[in-house]
Amino acid sequence: MSKKIILTFILAVIVGFIGGLQGNAGSIYMLGGLMALGIVDSQKIAAGTTLMVTALPITIGSAYEYYKHGDVDFLTAFILCFVGFIFSILGSKYNYLLSQKTIEYNIAITMAIGSIYFFWSAYYMD
């Protein structure tokens, strides 16, 4: 099994769980994870793949535009969708074991980590 598939599976577990836990689609975590883990080669592919997985009914037009330009990784999207779905159920069940304050801190921390990555990436990367 390739490193890309293994990393995609791990990302799907994490994003599915966090998305279910926090009550969001997990797109910001998926986008950052695809890039930070080197699963995809560009922000465009990360965006297209994330759109295909998390918000297809709402953003079908945008996803189709990325697809027309070749910026959707279908294998990665399939793995993230299938595995993320399973772990989103687990994350949403776990949500009921934690306090509202704990969930809010969790959201703040994970969003801050994502923000720091994108600031760092924009500043230091080409």
Residuewise pLDDT in 10s, the chain (126 residues):
799 999 999 998 888 888 777 766 678 788 889 988 999 998 888 888 887 887 655 566 667 888 899 999 999 989 988 998 899 889 888 888 888 788 888 878 988 998 898 899 889 876
**The pLDDT of residue 9:** 93
pTM for this predicted structure: 0.63
> What is the rounded (10 degree) CA torsion for 99, 101, 25, 34?
-110
- 101: tokens are 């304050």
Number of domains in the chain: 1
What range does the domain containing 31 cover?
Answer: 3-124
Angle at 5 between CA 2 and CA 40, to 5 degrees: 105
